[in-house]
Chain A
Amino acid sequence: AQKITQTQPGMFVQEKEAVTLDCTYDTSDPSYGLFWYKQPSSGEMIFLIYQGSYDQQNATEGRYSLNFQKARKSANLVISASQLGDSAMYFCAMSLGEGSNYKLTFGKGTLLTVNP
């Protein structure tokens, strides 16, 4: 069974600085996808970025980048130039590839607070 671990319950960062949110995963399946979602206090779940297990390059999406280290089974989210609006809960998630039920397995989340 797959598992996602987020070891940082909470993180603080100063506005305009970069922050890294940690995520490690465990699966024996060679085909999987790793995702990061943002959940603001209003409750919606916003997709940020994803990385496929066969992707050679780290994913980037605007101020978000994913530091994918396959051998270490880690998929850390890097947010550059933090903004006050980045304050939210962040979830790392994984789903398996073809032949699976595409269920997303989520970590417990990291609460990010951006200070002015």
Chain B
Amino acid sequence: EAQVTQNPRYLITVTGKKLTVTCSQNMNHEYMSWYRQDPGLGLRQIYYSMNVEVTDKGDVPEGYKVSRKEKRNFPLILESPSPNQTSLYFCASRRQGLNSNQPQHFGDGTRLSIL
């Protein structure tokens, strides 16, 4: 089954304790992206990656890091989490080339609470 898999689905942690949210896709998509969803602010892009070893900042990259060492994986790293990073996080992927209007397929989301 074609899917984007995020782990963990839920996490409660404390300020300053480094954490990683993993994202893996099995569709051989070149493009991957991270979004966060907050009440009143909607969905905002954090980072994206056009392909292996190619990453760039989205609209709200502060406090986050990413890496793309393999095509299928795109982890989101919070080196020193703070309460304002409490949010619902989504990883997404899409195919590139051929048709510029490919849909992005989302993972099931990660609910992150930083105390």
Contact = CB atoms under 8 A, between A and B. Distances in A.
Interface residues of B, number: 28
A57 to B, nearest CB: 14
Majority secondary structure of chain B interface residues (helix, strand, loop or mixed): strand
Interface residues of A, number: 26
Given A43-B111, A45-B106, A45-B109, A104 B100 contact: no
B35 interface: yes
B31 interface: yes
Given A44-B106, A103-B33, A104-B35, A98 B100 contact: yes
B45 A43 contact: no
Contact of A31 (B59, B90, B100, B108): B100
Contacts of A31: 100
